[in-house]
Structure 1
Amino acid sequence: MTDHVTPDQIDAVLAHVDAGLDSSLERLYALLRIKSISTDPAFKAECQQAADWIVGELKTIGFDAAAHATEGHPVVWARGPEQTGAHVLFYAHYDVQPVDPLNLWHSDPFEPVLKTDAQGRKIIVARGASDDKGQMMTFIEACRAWQAVTGSLPVKISLMLEGEEESGGKNLPPFMEAHKAQLGAADIALVCDTDMWDRQTPSITTMLRGMVGEEIEITCANKDLHSGMFGNAARNPNQLLAEIIASLRAPDGSVTLEGFYDDVAEVSPEIKAQWASLGFDEAAYMGEAGLSIPAGEANRSLLEMLWARPTCEINGMSGGYTGDGFKTVIPAKASAKISFRLVSGMDPDKIRAAFRSHVQAMIPADCSVRFTSHGGAPAITVPSDGTHLQQALNGLSSEWGKPAVITGSGGSIPVAGDFKRILGLDTLLIGFAQIDDAIHSPNEKYDLASYHRGIRSWVRVLAAFAG
């Protein structure tokens, strides 16, 4: 195929998707039945089985595919027939979370069923239906439809499908490093592991926050002390820890580390205006958590705080006696786990150094602090005027009949950072999940509409990349 497709070709491929929906569902069900739980060594064979199943399906539609061994579970790497024009690298994962507690499932988690929910919507219920087998198969089925109707693909396509996303993904970066020349030849990376904005509005996530994780342990006395004998005289590490933690935020909600905001850019007025038009209900969002007053920086919208501003959060604290009853002890040690979510432009190493300097400056001469790093990664931002982003937005908008929106994410998706760090690729995160899909929980589901229109959406997005 040339690097241009016609409207008639697109219509024909979409009609093929519609006519073959039942068959494509059966293929999805076959994959969902495989218990590819990556966190449990007892399911190692099933993870291999899932990888082999995917390889077999990709070969039937013309891909050169193989399951590459790693120190953990295989990485499926596949390349479509050579084409001119754009080259996209698609990522998803075939591993799933454990199903516990099993007694809360309404049906066998590995025997997919099509049900009707309380709102009358058709839903596919199974572990992995949404996260991420259903999402992955939307793309594969779109490729199948293009091959069936036109005998080719509209653009050059590579796929990299992971088997360890739910268990840390430590073996994927080495795989990417080893195949850097081939993988890095793509023009853009695509990830299908995210939500739509709402049930009728597709979205592309272009902003992911980075992360710095730190653990501190403060030691004062050389042993736990009796508070009657040493109260006032001995430094209490719980008190010292509390003072340090309290010093990390100013009364206006901002973070006090020196230079923390030096590299933080303001969101453009255009993006702010689009976010304002989304109709985000701040009160309802806070109400879901049983709260009503945002605690971040003053005079910022909630979406801006969640997507485009860095954070400092206390994730855990420990020190002294916390068992039943009461013990009048001054502990020798106290500890805390603290994380920072970063936005584009911030250097994780710089933030870690600023945090450690801040803490060390507050440690008395007769006390000590030990730092433990729990990883760090930079934030990812895709330029809002990028060609591939605009093409993808146009493709999604054509399918859903309303403008697709650009969103951010308060979380971190490490593979997007790896694409940039290792391969130099920007990433478009395009997914069709819904907020109520119960991923990682009992009764995980994927809307039938998400699956069907997800396939149709990828047909249009690939056509848009072709021009």
Structure 2
Amino acid sequence: MMADITPILERADANLPKSLDRLFDLVRIKSISTDPAFKADCRKAAEWLVAELNGLGFTASVRDTPGHPMVVAHHAGATADAPHVLFYGHYDVQPVDPLNLWDTDPFEPGLKELEPGRKVITGRGTADDKGQLLTFVEAARAYKDVHGSLPCRITILFEGEEESGSPSLKPFLEANAAELKADYALVCDTSMWDRDTPAISAGLRGLVGEEVVIKAADRDLHSGYFGGAAANPIRILTGILAGLHDEDSRVTLEGFYEGVEETPAQIKAGWETLGQTAEKFLGEIGLSIPSGEKNRSVLELTWARPTAEINGITGGYTGEGFKTVIAAEASAKVSFRLVGNQNPEKIREAFRAYVRSKVPADCTVEFHAHGGSPAIQLPYDSSLLNTAKLALSDEWPKPAVVIGMGGSIPIVGDFQKMLGMESLLVGFGLSDDRIHSPNEKYELQSYHKGIRSWIRILNALAA
């Protein structure tokens, strides 16, 4: 049932100073998951979250894994038939190097005014993901302060290895599937369109990573003595890579576009209202001309179309000066971003078959897989999506928009595949939050209105 929301929002406003104190306490914990030196800090962050959640009436515990611990918490809803949601976030953070580029201590958070009326919270993890996950926790706090209960049944899962590949996550989901399964998942590790426009990410591109190594002669060769007669693996490899795209920048692999659907016209029309242009999007990085499929907008290219990108090439002599050799081998790392119902394994096999067909008979090729996951697409007419869209639009100056994401969040696919749950991706980060970089920040408005937004979303879901 829907509660009177006004006093809950007022309580969130009144709680804000102490909410910030709690966020500062969490940010001060150096929970860097990639560095073994901070293992104790990762556990400390998990224990801090468990203490906060238990204090709010959740049944919360630290769950050990072969790596850093998980935090799992449960809370009953206001009624026995209230919807059940699983909220996911991560408490670990990226390393802070290079430290000399930070304006302030990365683990001593504070408030900074960028311009009149615009304050930001500074520190490592403020945006990715401690500030984001605490918007939900603080929303639950305000709700309980006013009504003594929560409108939905809530399970919380906070992990401590997201920034280091989540090696413990899948085994943990498999072992605890019955406990963690809910009606749907809520994921906060995403962004808004701009400072005044909230966004729901309806699509995530999948990913296939491949490394290919082509070997020719049994050693590097003198390019004068053998040049013109001996196979050159760099030449073979670059020719193969060049052939991955046609003159219209479409990927040439057989069957590559199977499962790729056109974005609905009304969705593309909505994207056009956002005012993004190729000049604006690419101008920020010193470019101006889109390189993808012809006659597609930059938002469609980055949110709704598949890609093949060459991420690195090695081979031959690359040191100082010059060395006239024909390399014995050359390698490349290639990634494919997937959309719709593209099958990662079919894409991998199509790539390998294509490469094998181009390698001369006296040369060899090796492949090394580097992960693969399908795309995620929430139906554009999903009632879950539309409920959240209306709730967000009530909170922010501008109506919520439905966007795509060019990147991948594997946990969303795991929730869908392993737990049978759709995910609602709502976050309040901004593109200039400098996540993974020095001087990370989180807008104070994002934190404050993020709390209020989750109050509205939970209230709407309960109705």
Structure 1 equivalent of residue 403 of structure 2: 407
Q: Deviations over 1:317-346 (max 9, x none)?
A: 011111111111111101100000000100
1:301 and 2:302 correspond: no
Structure 1 equivalent of residue 329 of structure 2: 333
**Is 2:277–2:297's contact at 8 Å kept on the other side of the alignment?**
no
Structure 1 equivalent of residue 288 of structure 2: 292
Structure 1 equivalent of residue 455 of structure 2: 459
With the length of structure 1 as denominator, give the TM-score of the two structures: 0.97
**Is 1:213–1:375's contact at 8 Å kept on the other side of the alignment?**
yes
1:95 and 2:96 correspond: no
- Tell me which amino acid in the other structure corresponds to 2:327: P
* 2: CA distance, partners of 1:384 / 1:270: 10
Q: Secondary structure at the match of 2:310?
A: strand
* 2: CA distance, partners of 1:427 / 1:344: 16
Q: Secondary structure at the match of 2:68?
A: coil
Structure 2: 5+ residue runs without aligned partners?
none
**Is 2:277–2:298's contact at 8 Å kept on the other side of the alignment?**
no
Structure 2 equivalent of residue 149 of structure 1: 146
Match of 1:198 among 191, 194, 198: 194
Match of 1:67 among 47, 52, 62: 62
* 2: CA distance, partners of 1:161 / 1:245: 40
* 1: CA distance, partners of 2:276 / 2:189: 22
* 2: CA distance, partners of 1:196 / 1:57: 27
Structure 1 equivalent of residue 173 of structure 2: 176
Per-residue deviation at 1:274?
0.8
- Tell me which amino acid in the other structure corresponds to 2:164: S
**Is 1:147–1:153's contact at 8 Å kept on the other side of the alignment?**
yes
Match of 1:364 among 347, 360, 364: 360
* 2: CA distance, partners of 1:391 / 1:86: 13
1:126 and 2:123 correspond: yes
With the length of structure 2 as denominator, give the TM-score of the two structures: 0.98
Aligned pairs for 1:407-446 (under 5 A) are 407-446=403-442
Q: Secondary structure at the match of 1:239?
A: helix
Per-residue deviation at 1:119?
5.5
Structure 2 equivalent of residue 282 of structure 1: 278
Per-residue deviation at 1:402?
3.0
Structure 1 equivalent of residue 248 of structure 2: 252
Q: Secondary structure at the match of 1:37?
A: coil
Per-residue deviation at 1:401?
4.2
- Tell me which amino acid in the other structure corresponds to 1:317: I
Match of 1:45 among 40, 44, 47: 40
- Tell me which amino acid in the other structure corresponds to 1:33: R
Q: Secondary structure at the match of 1:117?
A: strand
* 2: CA distance, partners of 1:168 / 1:452: 30
Match of 1:263 among 239, 259, 262: 259
* 1: CA distance, partners of 2:97 / 2:401: 35
Q: Secondary structure at the match of 1:20?
A: helix
1:391 and 2:387 correspond: yes
Q: Deviations over 1:343-372 (max 9, x none)?
A: 010000000000000000011111110011
**Is 1:62–1:81's contact at 8 Å kept on the other side of the alignment?**
no
- Tell me which amino acid in the other structure corresponds to 1:135: Q
- Tell me which amino acid in the other structure corresponds to 1:23: K
Per-residue deviation at 1:120?
4.4
1:78 and 2:81 correspond: no
Match of 1:158 among 137, 150, 155: 155
Match of 1:354 among 350, 353, 371: 350
Structure 2 equivalent of residue 109 of structure 1: 106
Per-residue deviation at 1:131?
0.5
**Is 2:185–2:423's contact at 8 Å kept on the other side of the alignment?**
yes
**Is 2:258–2:341's contact at 8 Å kept on the other side of the alignment?**
no
* 1: CA distance, partners of 2:6 / 2:109: 30
- Report which stretch shifted further, 61-70 or 99-108: 99-108
Per-residue deviation at 1:100?
1.1
- Runs (4+) of structure 1 moved beyond 3 Å? none
* 1: CA distance, partners of 2:63 / 2:302: 37
1:36 and 2:31 correspond: yes
Per-residue deviation at 1:19?
1.0
* 1: CA distance, partners of 2:458 / 2:25: 26
**Is 2:200–2:424's contact at 8 Å kept on the other side of the alignment?**
yes
- Tell me which amino acid in the other structure corresponds to 1:183: L
* 2: CA distance, partners of 1:368 / 1:352: 18
Question: Kindly, what percent of the aligned residue pairs are identical?
Answer: 59
Structure 2 equivalent of residue 188 of structure 1: 184
Q: Secondary structure at the match of 2:136?
A: helix
* 2: CA distance, partners of 1:15 / 1:120: 21
- Tell me which amino acid in the other structure corresponds to 1:292: S
* 2: CA distance, partners of 1:449 / 1:30: 19
Structure 2 equivalent of residue 219 of structure 1: 215
Q: Deviations over 1:104-161 (max 9, x none)?
A: 1111111111111145411110111111000000000000111110000011111000
Structure 2 equivalent of residue 15 of structure 1: 10
* 1: CA distance, partners of 2:370 / 2:173: 22
Per-residue deviation at 1:388?
1.2
**Is 2:209–2:333's contact at 8 Å kept on the other side of the alignment?**
yes
Q: Secondary structure at the match of 1:158?
A: strand
- Report which stretch shifted further, 399-408 or 167-176: 399-408
* 2: CA distance, partners of 1:5 / 1:330: 72
Per-residue deviation at 1:61?
0.8
- Tell me which amino acid in the other structure corresponds to 2:64: A
- Tell me which amino acid in the other structure corresponds to 2:2: V
Structure 1: 5+ residue runs without aligned partners?
none
* 2: CA distance, partners of 1:318 / 1:176: 38
Q: Secondary structure at the match of 2:416?
A: helix
Aligned pairs for 1:230-241 (under 5 A) are 230-241=226-237
Per-residue deviation at 1:101?
1.2
* 2: CA distance, partners of 1:408 / 1:16: 33
* 1: CA distance, partners of 2:107 / 2:239: 50
Change (3 A) 1:33 1:341: same
**Is 1:319–1:331's contact at 8 Å kept on the other side of the alignment?**
yes
Q: Secondary structure at the match of 2:112?
A: strand
- Tell me which amino acid in the other structure corresponds to 1:329: V
